[in-house]
Amino acid sequence: MTTTAQTEIGKIPGGSKNYSYPQNIAGIPFASFLRIYKYEYEEGMATVGQAQNDAIGALQNGGLLKNVTDGLGDTAQWAYGDKTGGGEYLALTEDKMIAKLKRETKEKHKPNNAAVRNWTDTRTNEDLMNEEFEVSNGWGSEPTKTTLKELLAQKEDAKNFSDQGYQKHYCNLAMPNEFQYNYGANWSNTFKLGTLALAADDPARAAMVLGVGGALGGATGFATSKLGESESDAATITQGAKKGVEKAANLFGVNSNILDPTNIVGLAGLAPNENAIQFFKKMEFRQFSLSFEFAARSDTESKEIQEILTWFKMGMHPVSKQANSGGSGVLLGFPDVWRIEPRFIPGNAVGGKFVPGTDKPHPMMPQTKLCALTQMQVDTAPMGQFSTVFDGTIPLVTVTLRFDELTALTKADFMTNKYL
């Protein structure tokens, strides 16, 4: 189904704005749609991951193990930059930033003479906003100088970035043109009984086979050893003759080993029975492939569609953990994680017409655990020819997304009916 209605910014409890395409998809009786949640990695692990009945849930609820991993992570982040670069100031309001800097730099401004008894810190807020101070950039890196004014500008940039929608919590989308997901069970742990299977089926025949095999192996071993035997001065002649025969018989190096028992019985049209058994090894991670169409009918609609696409693009990329390093930091923070939740809106008959009820999990479609967005394909010419409208915007875009779950399913996951 091609969705061409207008995009709107919806709301969830708490006032956080979120995307919806098409407009008010969550308010149409009997409509089905996808709600795709996005979480920063640590947030997703601590909230959604903690409730999962799997390895992620065990790690998040593991007490000592979680403390150890968090401690190691904090150490690495301090060493390479995440806990630095003025981050302790950015988390504060402007008034608290000023108070913190005034408190921490007070000693530096005190006089070193007797006048210190009557000294008071007369720096104004404006003075403190423009005062340079050093912030750490991690172990092994030189500190850099900044001001509260510069840090507040960074904070304002981050707010503007969030207000543009790139940090919104979820996106409601009409059911895609394609919604494929797969289950895979890996049974590649192969156990081969070979001739030993006869021991359980026919012990007498197994003894005979083992005897014949021993004789055949002994004969081939004897033949091989005789070719290599030499005594006294004939050693060089014997070895030379052996190599000459081998070279002449296999001049181009394509012959198989004629003394291999498998090849011997193969010449008679026979093959050894491996009596192989496949044992279960593991469950594969589920993959979800979704294909959407976005059609813009106005400047506003085109801009908001681009925001949705950027929301996905930015979410699948990592962030540098080195302060002030751009993308060249030693450590990268994991990309965002996702959760897909198909929803359905029941309809209630009121006054001869249907009104939408409260949306609920879709009765026939599976939800996902935490996922990674592993592929995103954007087609700007889905009709076979690239085109734009008068302002250069693209009127129709198709997007294919692939999400991979971070943990494999077990039967325990099906007890809630969420992941069927």
* Least confident segment among 146-160, 207-221, 359-373, 404-418: 207-221
What is the pLDDT at residue 5? 34
**Hey, which residues does 399 pair with through a beta bridge?**
292, 378
| Strands 282-283, 185-186: pairing kind | antiparallel
Tell me the three state secondary structure of residue 40: coil
Q: Is the pLDDT of residue 329 over 90?
A: no
Per residue in 13-35, pLDDT (tens digit) is 334 468 888 878 888 999 999 99
Which residue shows structure tokens 């080993």? 257
Domain ranges of the chain: 8-80+169-186+287-416, 189-279
What is the pLDDT at residue 214? 58
Per residue in 38-87, pLDDT (tens digit) is 999 988 988 888 888 888 888 777 765 556 656 655 555 544 444 445 66
Per residue in 159-192, pLDDT (tens digit) is 666 555 567 889 999 999 999 999 999 999 998 8
CB 170 within 8 A of CB 38: yes
Strands (E), 246-286: 276-279, 282-283
* CA-wise closest residue to 52 among 38, 64, 62: 62
**Hey, which residues does 373 pair with through a beta bridge?**
403
Region 215-242: what's the mean pLDDT? Answer: 56
More confident residue, 215 or 414: 414
d(CA 194, CA 188): 17
